[in-house]
A and B are shown apart, each in its own frame.
Chain A
């Protein structure tokens, strides 16, 4: 990739993050129901207290000074203090990141492997029962509310079959158990949440892989390969699949926002102690600084992932390298 293109991409990503920061700032300062006016709405509060609160949040200063203060705090990693936990937002979020990361990575790996395989088979057997079945599965899973799928899986696998635990990440009774027992316990807690999240993603990935494969299979070089006398499996493995996979990198990165959306719901249903569960708690307690922090982190993560996907795309598809 040329340096100018690379610099341009960095510049674009930085601009997008700046956009996120501005949206984040104005959402919480300008919208009705911001924390300061919520506090000031208390009828028993004296005029001095209101002034005091405004000073505390810097609301007595002009908006550009306020934005500068907010930006300065961000650079120092200060996201303010949570209303309900009475701790630093950055610290609380940091504690919850590993659980969400574990859940999404496991689900993504499952979904990418299964989704791509289904997509390839469906495109190859186009119009046959396998294809129709795959398409049906994809459209149904796309239309299913993620949290509802989670509830159904809990009701069936935990409530009815008693195979997996209902919620949480580790059984409270295992505080003094050996690490191996703890690991096994965590894995059994992980099965249902990651399965739920993966099932929702598989449909999307399969559908896109299928359409990408169909596009590739109508290209001239596939006809050429067949004319050269290559076996069908060689055409598939060496010519069709690698080329059909190229758009998938972008799609997977682009749909990370969708994955996070799914993870938030799954965590809520399974009480998985990650960012999604945290967001649900923050919503219930109208904990604005915490909400703002989670929104900021997830947005930056998505923009970052898209940036990386852009770069990777440049490496695997020589056509966009110029």
Chain B
């Protein structure tokens, strides 16, 4: 019963956190748009428009105008939300799996396992991630799943550190000792005693990692590593930049995708920050 009241008081704390509520609302809004995408968008996101449709300013027929190939910007935005969310969430899943595994194993087994894993983690933590991701993406070739892989495999180090610290703290608690003394194996202890206590932290971290993953996807795609058959917001910005839309004043082609990225990432950042405040009482207002 304790966990239910725990969840309830968490929810009450969360509801009083304006930042968190705004963040959640933004995320839900984008999720609805992404899911309802094909029903909302009036045009085919991939087929090029007629010559007279190229770079039309926003107006009737094309609510947000058209791009340099005559495609409807609003349609591309809706289709892009699916790619951006899909890539962001899938990459986060990989990051969290690797980060949790490394963190738990390092913290639980300690000694040389810990030293070796944490050295390895530090390499990934300090490396400038953009050059590394660009190199990986260039070698693997442009595809949505390669981008997921690249972002996922470079973004786990921070999570591993946090999870390790929490594991170390929990390892010293008495119930761990008790479980071991009645003969529970490592696997059982990790799954039934350690993980439930590490989980809240994994949850809070997932939200912040998602924000970073979505930003990474946008940046990689902007730099030309995106899959042009499944354009994301970053891919749209890549073509906008390459076609000189900024200097030619075709701002309707540059502003909306950027605003979408900004809003969605802000949603996740707000939510993550709110959880940080809830889980870290020192930051909570007195």
Contact for B269 among A143, A148, A254, A261, CB less than 8 A? A143
User: A234 at interface (Cβ–Cβ under 8 A)?
Assistant: no
A261 engages B258 (CB within 8 Å): no
Within 8 A of B (CB), among A205-233: 211, 214-215, 218
Return the CB mask of A32-53 against B: 1 if under 8 Å, else 0: 1110000000000000000000
Within 8 A of B (CB), among A149-164: 151-152, 154-155, 158-159
> Main secondary structure on chain B at its contact with chain A?
helix
Task: Take A143-B262, A143-B269, A155-B246 as given contacts and tell me if A284 and B283 are in contact as well, using a CB distance cutoff of 8 Å.
Answer: no
A145 engages B219 (CB within 8 Å): yes
User: A142 at interface (Cβ–Cβ under 8 A)?
Assistant: yes
Chain B binder among A114-122, A239-247, A296-304: A296-304
Task: Take A16-B126, A19-B123, A139-B266 as given contacts and tell me if A211 and B283 are in contact as well, using a CB distance cutoff of 8 Å.
Answer: yes
B130 engages A264 (CB within 8 Å): yes
List, in ascending order, chain A residues with CB within 8 A of B254's CB.
148, 151, 155
The CA-CA distance from A299 to B131 in the complex, in Å, is 9
Return the CB mask of B120-151 against A: 1 if under 8 Å, else 0: 10110111111110111011110000000000
Contact for B258 among A28, A148, A215, A279, CB less than 8 A? A148
User: A20 at interface (Cβ–Cβ under 8 A)?
Assistant: yes
Return the CB mask of B238-255 against A: 1 if under 8 Å, else 0: 000100001101010010
Q: Closest Cβ of chain A: how far from B223's Cβ, in Å?
A: 6
Contact for B128 among A152, A215, A218, A302, CB less than 8 A? A302
B128 engages A298 (CB within 8 Å): yes
The CA-CA distance from A292 to B131 in the complex, in Å, is 9
A280 engages B241 (CB within 8 Å): no
List, in ascending order, chain A residues with CB within 8 A of B125's CB.
254
User: B156 at interface (Cβ–Cβ under 8 A)?
Assistant: no
A303 engages B126 (CB within 8 Å): yes
The CA-CA distance from A147 to B262 in the complex, in Å, is 12
Task: Give the number of residues in A that approach B within 8 Å (Cβ atoms).
Answer: 59
List, in ascending order, chain B residues with CB within 8 A of A140's CB.
262, 266
Task: Take A16-B119, A147-B237, A291-B134 as given contacts and tell me if A261 and B128 are in contact as well, using a CB distance cutoff of 8 Å.
Answer: yes
A279 engages B139 (CB within 8 Å): no
The CA-CA distance from A214 to B237 in the complex, in Å, is 39
Interface residues of B (CB under 8 A from A): 19, 119-120, 122-123, 125-132, 134-136, 138-141, 211, 215, 218-219, 222-225, 234, 237, 241, 246-247, 249, 251, 254, 258, 261-262, 265-266, 269-270, 273, 282-283, 285
Further pairs besides A257-B128, A299-B128: 7, Cβ < 8 Å: A16-B119, A16-B122, A31-B136, A254-B125, A279-B131, A280-B223, A299-B131
